[in-house]
A and B are shown apart, each in its own frame.
Chain A
């Protein structure tokens, strides 16, 4: 439940947040609940493109019943402070997949937080997050995976990659695994990098101007995040918004 007291940075899940921006919209609305019934499939997406200077917090509480699946795509690009959180509970043989991109510049603070609980056996989950951060932006991904004692044969992965365009930008990636079962696969990887200088020179040597070359490399970096969005109109909208945003950063 949402508490009415403004959080502090001492709370792990708010550690990298812009609390001044948050104060302006506190208390945030109640979370959106998504319940996927047994055997069903659901697809959802969020385009967080709040106006410049605004704060936006989107909380989701998702329950995925036995044999059900939920695919969520998120693009977090807007506002001074933009936050999307996903609190997910999986039944047996259930699957949750989050594909997300964070693209930020200026003084933006953008974050995605996931807390995935594998409550029963044989469920699977995946989170793929790509962040592109320029200027003084901060992008964070905090992802916890909690595997209950009898949730045997859980298979979970996290893939987190961040690209910093300027030395003044910050990327935080924090995986957290809490595993009480003993037959479990939890894979996670996180990298933070910069644009490949060798590739940039190769592209320049073929005549590509620096803006075109950087844009192409950044598009390639986030390509794939929205590949499996089923609704073509949604996919086009997310991709177009991502490209328009990263073009402002190069």
Chain B
């Protein structure tokens, strides 16, 4: 098992958001989590990523056999977890290349691997930028500063390509993308992550990303729990009929 979440509960500022969430993801699988606004989708992503303030109050999460919650956020990344942000953060004064090289080499140091030198890193960055159709010039600019919504998401996928995680949790990576950008990002996710030793957890509101990144499993998150799971057809059913009809108004309101 790549990721096992068992009966996870959490709180933000004393308010319970996740209320006993369980989910298992095997290597080679792509899972999609859909759900109404306020269901706890982003909270799940941030809690797994270890964002300060997202307090785990119960349950467990095991990532590649390690207790995820015993690791600091940067250690989770070094262990192979990648969190794609719905709203990527702007960092003035720090170029994307500098940001990524420091990130990758921090990870490599933590894993006892040799750091990449400047030349090796640039070669890798060029290759991954090309894969996502992002101009190398963009990577010389400060992290996400002045990027459009679509450029930010594409840059996130370039980051994922360079960092080469085992498990990517992508929080509404499709939001703010036009159809062309969605195709490119979808193809990028497939190229980077659709591998037998990797897995993806896609968090999305809409079916449309799933046209490009075919999930093996689809789950509905409502009221802080997974209330229904199924195959790709579940996403289509949700799109057609809405959350209330598929999982019941009660579950949606919970």
Contact = CB atoms under 8 A, between A and B. Distances in A.
B224 interface: no
Given A202-B85, A202-B88, A208 B106 contact: yes
A56 to B, nearest CB: 29
B252 interface: no
A203 B51 CA distance: 11
A207 B106 contact: yes
Contact of B102 (A202, A216, A223): A216
A interface bracket (residues with beta carbon within 8 Å of B):
20 to 34
A224 B93 CA distance: 9
Given A201-B52, A204-B74, A223 B103 contact: no
Given A201-B73, A216-B99, A216-B102, A207 B94 contact: no
Contact of B110 (A197, A199, A207, A220): A207
B91 A202 contact: yes
Interface in A179-217: 196-199, 201-210, 212-213, 216-217
Contact of B77 (A196, A197, A204, A219): A204
8 contacts: A202-B88, A202-B143, A203-B99, A205-B50, A205-B73, A207-B74, A216-B102, A217-B94
B interface bracket (residues with beta carbon within 8 Å of A):
20 to 34
B106 to A, nearest CB: 5
Contacts of B49: 201, 205
Contacts of A212: 102, 106
Contacts of A223: 93
A246 to B, nearest CB: 14
Contact of A208 (B50, B74, B85, B89): B74
Given A199-B91, A203-B102, A210-B74, 11 more contacts: A199-B89, A204-B73, A205-B49, A205-B73, A205-B76, A206-B103, A206-B159, A208-B106, A216-B94, A216-B99, A216-B102
A219 B102 CA distance: 13
Given A212-B102, A212-B106, A206 B163 contact: yes
A207 B77 contact: yes
A220 B85 CA distance: 22
B199 interface: no
B83 interface: yes
Interface of B: 49-52, 72-74, 76-78, 82-83, 85, 88-94, 98-100, 102-104, 106-107, 109-110, 143, 159, 163
B90 to A, nearest CB: 8
A224 B94 CA distance: 12
Contacts of A198: 89
A134 B6 CA distance: 41
B93 A221 contact: yes
Contacts of A220: 91-94
Contacts of A207: 74, 77-78, 103-104, 106-107, 110, 163
A208 B94 CA distance: 13
